[in-house]
Amino acid sequence: MLNTCLSLQAAKVKKFQGDVDKYVGDCVVALFGGDDMELSAIRCAMEIHRALDDSNAANPKSPQLRVGIGIVRGEVIQGSIGSEDRSDYNRHRVECKPVFPDFVPLRVRVKP
């Protein structure tokens, strides 16, 4: 069920020219770029909610899926981080904080 929900969200992110940066537990961290990045993120969020509503209506006997979505705007830098033994390709906010610590508390606050 979790993978179904995450897959639905990832497909909508892609539809609106976003990029899934990572999955943190049951959270999708996505980034949008370009001149209309805020509008793309908002449209994506609205479509995710509509798609989940449709899925819930089509499967009334299944557990009802709900998500909370937070949208944060800011600049990021990206690149490979780590040592020779272990490294990750990551995106960081310009203040050099990892993307996800700012998003995770927000996700917890907006979680339904």
Give the CATH number for residue 10. Answer: 3.30.70.1230
How does residue 22 score in pLDDT terms, banded at 50, 70 and 90? Answer: confident
Task: Of 51, 47, 93, give the one whose Cα is nearest residue 72.
Answer: 93
Task: Please give the average per-residue pLDDT across 30-44, as a whole number.
Answer: 92
Considering the entire predicted model, what is its pTM?
0.73
Q: Other CB atoms closer than 10 Å to residue 74's CB: what's the count? A: 10
Tell me how many domains the chain contains.
Answer: 1
Strand partners, 27: 24
Residue 47 structural domain: 2-110
Q: Which of 33, 26, 32, 34 is CA-nearest to residue 8? A: 26
Any idea which residue has 């993120």 for tokens? 41
| Number of residues in the chain | 112
Q: What is the pLDDT of residues 69-96, one digit of tens each?
A: 988 887 776 777 778 788 777 665 444 4
Which candidate, 36, 21, 46, 47, places its Cα nearest to that of 73?
A: 36
